[in-house]
């Protein structure tokens, strides 16, 4: 039977991120994907000014209550960028309405990067997002979010292995089974992820060649690719490997294309390869 996901992120009209990434990636992974927008913005808040922002908090529970009457089973509940810290309350209540024991609750905290909170985020976000992470099976913070979730200082662009390992253990102690920290960089040559899953005493580190630049939306591309691979029954480490390869490929194609980086990465061009990777064997 076809699997079904519900993706709970903002819609940014321009600048590939959030739902404009999650929906095509999960569709390419073969999932029937429902979307619940948390906010509506004209662009993402990373490298644009003058964007509009509509908080859709008051829509989340009415939507979820209606969806809960339809008798649908959701195999994955995927949350990302939220309009505010307070909105975590609604998203937690949505999990009660839309998830059962077997739903994979997959949380991308999506509130900070490069040592700084995103422009519109309020101070309650790390504390509130910690509550959502505690409810998740898998969380995919970047290094900044990992530190802020634990009320620790940002370790800087080049983190130490022991620091990242400490963050993985700290985050797992919050409750999720799987912790995947993205944007882990030990030197200028490589970047990748740390992952800690059941049965592992120490995190595994997976790296790829590092490209210079700030690539907006790559956290969303990676997280969506990872969830799609997990929903296609790839084990966690293999799914991380798939997501890293396709994200890396998207960045490479973007740099070749020469479009301004604020419009996001050209993941569309890597989707055929993603599909092939999920369907090999």
Closer by beta carbon to ligand PXL, 3 or else 44: 44
The terminus-to-terminus CA distance of the chain in angstroms comes to: 19
- Residues 45-104 interacting with ligand PXL (rule: CB under 6 A): 45-46, 81
183 binds ligand PXL (CB under 6 A): no
Among 41, 82, 239, 251, binds ligand PXL (CB under 6 A): 41
Please name the residue that has the structure tokens 């995927």: 78
β-bridge mates for residue 182, sequence order: 142
Binds ligand PXL by CB under 6 A, chosen from 18, 20, 95, 234: 18
The single residue among 55, 61, 118, 137 that binds ligand PXL, judged by CB under 6 A, is 118
Strands (E), the chain: 4-14, 32-43, 53-55, 76-79, 104-107, 112-113, 116-117, 138-139, 178-187, 190-196, 204-209
Window of 9-17, 65-73, 139-147, 267-275 that interacts with ligand PXL by CB under 6 A: 9-17
How far apart CA 93 and CA 280 sit, in angstroms, is: 38
Q: Count other C-beta atoms under 10 Å from residue 204's C-beta.
A: 15
- Which of 75, 90, 145, 220 touches ligand PXL (CB under 6 A)? 220
What's 129's DSSP letter? Answer: H
- List binders of ligand PXL among 137-176 (CB under 6 A): none
The reply on whether position 16 binds ligand PXL by CB under 6 A is: no
Closer of 73 and 114 to ligand PXL (Cβ): 114
Stretches 121-129, 183-191, 192-200, 213-221: which one binds ligand PXL (CB under 6 A)? 213-221
10 forms part of the interface with ligand PXL (CB under 6 A): yes
Cα–Cα nearest to 17, from 50, 43, 49, 55: 43
Nearest to ligand PXL of 19, 197 (CB atom): 19
Nearer to ligand PXL, 12 or 165 (CB): 12
Q: Is 210 helix (H, G, I), strand (E, B) or coil?
A: coil
12 binding ligand PXL? (CB under 6 A)? yes
**Could you write out the DSSP letters of every residue in 253-273?**
HHHHHT--GGG---GGGGHHH
Select the residue interacting with ligand PXL from 176, 203, 217, 228 (CB under 6 A).
Answer: 217
Measured between alpha carbons, how far is 102 from 107 in angstroms, rounded to an integer? 15
Chain residues that interact with ligand PXL, rule: CB under 6 A: 10, 12, 17-18, 41, 44-46, 81, 110, 118, 217, 219-220
């Amino acid at each position: 039977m076809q699997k079904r996901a519900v993706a709970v992120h903002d819609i940014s009209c321009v600048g590939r991120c959030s739902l404009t990434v999650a929906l095509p990636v999960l569709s390419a992974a073969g999932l029937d994907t429902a979307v619940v927008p948390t906010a509506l913005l004209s662009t993402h808040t990373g490298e644009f000014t003058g964007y509009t922002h509509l908080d859709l908090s008051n829509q989340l529970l009415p939507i979820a209550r209606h969806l809960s009457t339809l008798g649908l089973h959701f195999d994955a509940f995927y949350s990302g960028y939220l309009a505010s810290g307070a909105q975590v309350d609604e998203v937690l209540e949505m999990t009660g309405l839309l998830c059962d024991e077997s739903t994979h609750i997959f949380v991308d905290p999506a509130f900070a990067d490069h040592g700084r909170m995103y422009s519109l985020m309020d101070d309650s976000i790390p504390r509130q997002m910690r509550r959502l992470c505690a409810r998740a099976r898998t969380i995919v913070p970047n290094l900044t979010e990992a530190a802020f979730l634990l009320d620790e200082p940002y370790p800087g662009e080049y983190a130490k292995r022991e620091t990242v390992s400490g963050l993985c253990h700290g985050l797992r102690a919050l409750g999720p089974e799987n912790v995947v920290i993205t944007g882990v960089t030990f030197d200028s040559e490589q970047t990748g992820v740390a992952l800690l899953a059941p049965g592992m005493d120490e995190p595994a580190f997976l790296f790829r060649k590092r490209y210079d630049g700030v690539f907006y939306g790559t956290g969303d591309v990676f997280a969506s690719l990872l969830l799609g691979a997990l929903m296609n029954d790839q084990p966690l480490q293999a799914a991380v490997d798939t997501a890293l390869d396709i994200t890396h490929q998207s960045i490479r194609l973007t740099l070749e294309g020469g479009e301004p980086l604020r419009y996001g990465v050209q993941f569309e061009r890597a989707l055929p390869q993603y599909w092939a990777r999920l369907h090999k064997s």
